[in-house]
């Protein structure tokens, strides 16, 4: 009877709370995902999620881009306003979790998702604004596991897309330096939204280099570009540009030789980009931390761009700061403010 009451509470929340403006904003940590899952599936599900969705980042200690917290139906109800939610099930008969899912999701959608080897359900703002809900269903246990294995990238992208909206509202809630951003478009031919408390450190049009940032904790953003053509080896050039930025243009720092640079291909707005991540270090002092960098070729301008974000925050978590830089970088475009 208790489980039945829990199911009705969840269903009522989903179907009756339809007015987007009346919903509160989602709460909790950006990196936490609350997972409603059958108890005997959790061990394998956790491994799959950590491997294919969570993303382990060296800062230089390991930090998870997302981590996963198992919840019972009662806990799920209590945490229904958390920023990231997930439901994983093999829809076994006589399970209270299966009954909840069957009443929450239309039969046609349920059948399609269960039978399709790759289909997952992604819902935005189910209980709160700027909230993500991912539902992974399979005909049996192995097929459920397979969906996380094969579709982990799509799950990660959905979580990141919703997180991007949250972070954008948070970062620019106080204001931004629009006139400064517009001056960069006039001078350099590209636009990037600048937070209210960032300052210009170096601006060298002749060297195609701009460096802005803020301190305590330190967050730096560097934009560098070279005039090229589409025949250039973009990955090779990107590595050369990274070492030029962190080695000559910012001459006190360098890419750490003890840490490999990882990369992944993705889209940044309308640009097909490669995103790099790694560690930097100071040449003279005991300082260092993580960096991210995006590289892409812009065919209209015939330019190869490299946008680098760097964090120094001794004794603090680095990933929240990296997320902020990620959001700012993703406002970059060559079409202007629009």
Residue-wise pLDDT tens digits, 246-261: 999 999 999 999 888 9
Would the CATH topology of 2-171 be identical to that of 178-329? no
Mean per-residue pLDDT over the chain, rounded: 89
Per the model's pLDDT, the better-predicted residue between 170 and 6 turns out to be 170
Min mean pLDDT across 91-100, 186-195, 222-231, 321-330 is at 91-100
Q: Which of 130, 65, 66, 67 is nearest to 292 (CA)?
A: 65
* Residue boundaries of the structural domains of the chain: 2-171, 178-329
- Is the model's pLDDT at 118 over the cut of 80? no
Q: What integer is the mean pLDDT of 87-104?
A: 85
Torsional sign, CA 282, 59, 212, 269:
positive
Q: At what angle do helices 107-115 and 96-104 cross, to 10 degrees?
A: 120
Per the model's pLDDT, the better-predicted residue between 258 and 237 turns out to be 237
How confident is the model over 131-178, as pLDDT tens digits?
999 999 988 999 999 999 999 999 999 999 999 999 999 999 989 999
- Is the model's pLDDT at 72 over the cut of 80? yes
CA distances from 82 to 53, 75, 293 (A): 18, 11, 30
CATH architecture of 178-329: 3-Layer(aba) Sandwich (3.40)
- Is the model's pLDDT at 2 over the cut of 90? no
- Is the model's pLDDT at 19 over the cut of 70? no
Collapsing DSSP states into helix, strand and coil, what is residue 294? strand
- Is the model's pLDDT at 36 over the cut of 80? yes
Q: What pLDDT is attached to residue 10?
A: 53
| Fold of domain 2-171 | Chitobiase; domain 2 (3.30.379)
């Amino acid at each position: 009877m208790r489980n039945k009451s829990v199911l009705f509470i969840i269903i009522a929340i989903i179907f009756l709370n339809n007015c987007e403006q009346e919903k509160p904003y989602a709460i909790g940590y950006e990196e936490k995902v609350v997972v409603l899952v059958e108890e005997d599936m959790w061990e394998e599900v956790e491994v799959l999620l950590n491997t294919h969705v969570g993303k382990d980042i060296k800062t230089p200690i390991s930090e998870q881009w997302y981590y996963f917290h198992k919840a019972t139906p009662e806990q799920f109800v209590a945490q229904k306003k958390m920023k990231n939610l997930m439901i994983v099930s093999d829809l076994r008969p006589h399970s209270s979790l299966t009954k909840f899912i069957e009443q929450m999701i239309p039969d046609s959608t349920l059948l399609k998702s269960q039978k399709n080897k790759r289909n997952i359900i992604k819902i935005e703002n189910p209980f709160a604004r700027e909230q993500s809900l991912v539902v992974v269903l399979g005909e049996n246990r192995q097929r459920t596991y397979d969906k996380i294995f094969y579709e982990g990238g799509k799950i990660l992208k959905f979580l990141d897309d919703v997180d991007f909206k949250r972070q954008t509202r948070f970062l620019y809630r106080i204001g931004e330096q629009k006139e400064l951003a517009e001056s960069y478009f006039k001078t350099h031919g590209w636009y990037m939204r600048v937070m209210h408390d960032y300052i210009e450190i170096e601006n060298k049009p002749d060297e195609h280099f701009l460096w802005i940032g803020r301190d305590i904790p330190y967050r730096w953003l560097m934009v560098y570009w070279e005039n090229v053509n589409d025949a250039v080896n973009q990955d090779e050039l990107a590595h050369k540009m990274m070492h030029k930025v962190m080695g000559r243009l910012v001459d006190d720092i360098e890419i750490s030789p003890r840490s490999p640079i990882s990369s992944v291909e993705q889209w940044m707005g309308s640009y097909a980009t490669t995103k790099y991540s790694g560690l930097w270090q100071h040449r003279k002092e005991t300082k260092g931390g993580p960096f991210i960098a995006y590289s892409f070729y812009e065919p209209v301008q015939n330019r190869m761009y490299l946008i680098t974000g760097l964090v120094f925050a001794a004794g603090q978590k680095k990933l929240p700061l990296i997320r902020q830089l990620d959001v700012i970088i993703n406002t970059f475009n060559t079409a202007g403010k629009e």
